[in-house]
Amino acid sequence: MEEITNVMEYEEIARQKLPKMVYDYYASGAEDQWTLKENRNAFSRILFRPRILVDVSNIDMTTTVLGFKISMPIMIAPTAMQKMAHPDGENATARAASAADTIMTLSSWATSSVEEVASTGPGIRFFQLYVYKDRNVVAQLVRRAERAGFKAIALTVDTPRLGRREADIKNRFALPPNLTLKNFEGLDLGKMTVDKTSDSGLASYVAGQVDRTLSWKDVKWLQTITSLPILVKGVLTAEDAKLAVQNGAAGIIVSNHGARQLDYVPATITALEEVVKAAQGRVPVFLDGGVRRGTDVFKALALGASGVFIGRPVLFSLAADGEAGVRKVLQMLRDELELTMALSGCTSLKEITRSHIATDWDPPRSLPSSKL
Residues in the chain: 372
Consult the annotation and say whether 44 binds a ligand.
no
CA dihedral 328, 330, 332, 337 (to 10 degrees): -170
Consult the annotation and say whether 311 binds a ligand.
yes
Per annotation, catalytic residue among 95, 257, 299, 327: 257
Consult the annotation and say whether 312 binds a ligand.
yes
d(CA 52, CA 191) in angstroms, rounded, equals 56
Consult the annotation and say whether 78 binds a ligand.
yes
CB of 142 closer than 8 Å to CB of 108: no
Going by C-alpha positions, the residue among 73, 70, 60, 74 that lies closest to residue 342 is 60
Consult the annotation and say whether 292 binds a ligand.
yes
Consult the annotation and say whether 79 binds a ligand.
yes
Consult the annotation and say whether 288 binds a ligand.
yes
Consult the annotation and say whether 290 binds a ligand.
yes
Consult the annotation and say whether 291 binds a ligand.
yes
Angle at 249 between CA 244 and CA 252, to 5 degrees: 70
257 part of the active site: yes
Q: Which amino acid is at 146?
A: E
Just list the catalytic residues.
Answer: 257
Binding residues: 25, 78-80, 107, 128, 130, 156, 165, 233, 255, 257, 260, 288-292, 311-312
Binding residues for glyoxylate: 25, 165, 257, 260
Binding residues for FMN: 78-80, 107, 128, 130, 156, 233, 255, 288-292, 311-312
